[in-house]
C-alpha cells in the first residue's frame, strides 16, 4: 500500500466587506459635496455654519489570498494470481495413462479394427 500526499498552494480571491462608517463635522465655510466608490460626502450651510456628512458605502473588495489544497491518493497493490496445489490420491497406472492419451472412443475403434483383421485372417486360414 502506498499513500501519496501532495500540497498545492493556489491564489484565490475572496471578498472583504468594508464596514459602514458615518462621520460629521461642522465648520464656517462654503457648500461642498464629495463622492467616490467608497464614500459620499455632503455639506450644508445653516445659520452661517457648514455641516458636513461623510458616509462610506457598503462595498465588497476583492483580496487575493493563498489557498492550500491537499491531495491524498492511496494505491493498494494486490496479487491477483493465486496458486492452488491439488494433491492427487494415487498415480495413474500405465493402462489409465494410455486410455487418457488415446481417448476412450479411439481406443475402442482400434480394438474393433484389430478384431476384424484377426477374424478375417482366422476365416481365411480355415478355408485353405
pLDDT 10s digits, 23-32: 776 666 677 7
Task: Extract the C-alpha cell encoding 89.
Answer: 490420491
Q: pLDDT above 70 covers what percent of the chain?
A: 90
- In the predicted structure, residue 63 carries a pLDDT above the cut 80: no
- In the predicted structure, residue 38 carries a pLDDT above the cut 90: no
- pTM score: 0.32
Of 22, 55, 49, 25, nearest to 37 by C-alpha is 55
User: Mapping DSSP to helix (H, G, I), strand (E, B) and coil, where does residue 87 land?
Assistant: coil
**Domain boundaries of the chain, sorted by first residue:** 1-78, 93-128
d(CA 28, CA 48): 6
d(CA 29, CA 78): 86
Q: For residue range 84-99, what is the model confidence (pLDDT) as tens digits?
A: 888 878 888 888 888 8
Q: For residue range 40-60, what is the model confidence (pLDDT) as tens digits?
A: 888 888 887 878 888 888 777
101 forms bridges with which residues in the sheet? none
Pick from 15-29, 70-84, 85-99, 104-118: least confident: 15-29
Amino acid at each position: 500500500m502506498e499513500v501519496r500526499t501532495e500540497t498545492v498552494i493556489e491564489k484565490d480571491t475572496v471578498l472583504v466587506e468594508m464596514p459602514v462608517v458615518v462621520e460629521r463635522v461642522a465648520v464656517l465655510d462654503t457648500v461642498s459635496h464629495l463622492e467616490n466608490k467608497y464614500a459620499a460626502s455632503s455639506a450644508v450651510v445653516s445659520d452661517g455654519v457648514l455641516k458636513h456628512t461623510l458616509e462610506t458605502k457598503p462595498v465588497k473588495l476583492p483580496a487575493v489570498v493563498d489557498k492550500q489544497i491537499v491531495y491524498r491518493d492511496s494505491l493498494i497493490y494486490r496479487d491477483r494470481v493465486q496458486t492452488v496445489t491439488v494433491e492427487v490420491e494415487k498415480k495413474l497406472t500405465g493402462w489409465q495413462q494410455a486410455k487418457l492419451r488415446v481417448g476412450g472412443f479411439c481406443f475402442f475403434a482400434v480394438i474393433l479394427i484389430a478384431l476384424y483383421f484377426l477374424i478375417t485372417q482366422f476365416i481365411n486360414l480355415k478355408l485353405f
